[in-house]
Amino acid sequence: MNRPERLTEQDFAQVWRLMEESFPTDERRSCAGQKELLANPHYRLYGVRREGDVTAFAAVWKFDEFMFVEHLAVDPALRNSGTGAALLAWVCALRDLPVVLEVEPPAEEIAKRRIGFYERNGFFLNAYYYIQPALSEEGKELMLLLMTRPEKLTGAEFVRVRETLYRQVYVCPEG
């Protein structure tokens, strides 16, 4: 795998292509809404290139108390190649902070496999359900769980993380 790097606005079209291939409408913003995030000082895109093309990316929010990986995607042709795990490990090593991400509850096989991937990469599934607000006008709210590294969240930590996500990432009233 090539060394991950910070991506720029010039890479956005390739990132958006991967995002559309990897996430249903309810799990992503509109193209314009996603692109607007590039101006947010807390938001960063990191990626891996192959022959000049972005083949994997991580959308990361950096806060004082933790980092939040909002999206992680790998080109379908490279899935199961270790690219996603290597990019995730690299992102987790950026700062000495806990890392948080969201997953769907383990009701379906794909969700169980995704949780297993994150567990193999040092994450813990937390038992606290919460609502992810709709990311776009055509999207809907999602019931999700948080996974964290290097350890599970306490109840008080979960409340602080949820409040930060609602306020900074989803820009909505705390719920």
pLDDT tens digits for 94-147? 999 999 999 999 999 999 999 999 999 999 999 999 999 998 888 899 999 999
pLDDT on residue 118:
98
pLDDT above 60 (res 175): no
The answer to whether 66 and 151 have CB atoms below 8 angstroms apart is no
Strand runs labelled E in 51-103:
53-62, 67-74, 99-103
Nearest Cα residue to 118 out of 149, 152, 83: 149
How do beta strands 67-74 and 53-62 pair? antiparallel
CA-angle at 66, arms to 120 and 128, nearest 5°: 65
How far apart, in whole angstroms, are the C-alpha atoms of residue 153 and residue 155?
Answer: 6
Model confidence, pTM: 0.95
Question: Residues 46-68: pLDDT tens digits?
Answer: 999 999 999 999 999 999 999 99
The residues, any chain, with a CB within 8 Å of residue 105's CB and separated by 6 or more, are 111, 129, 143, 144, 145
Q: Angle at the Cα of 140 (from 137 to 145), degrees rounded to 5?
A: 135
- Centre a 10 Å sphere on the Cβ of residue 163 and count the other Cβ atoms it contains: 12
Q: Are 46 and 60 in contact (CB under 8 A)?
A: yes
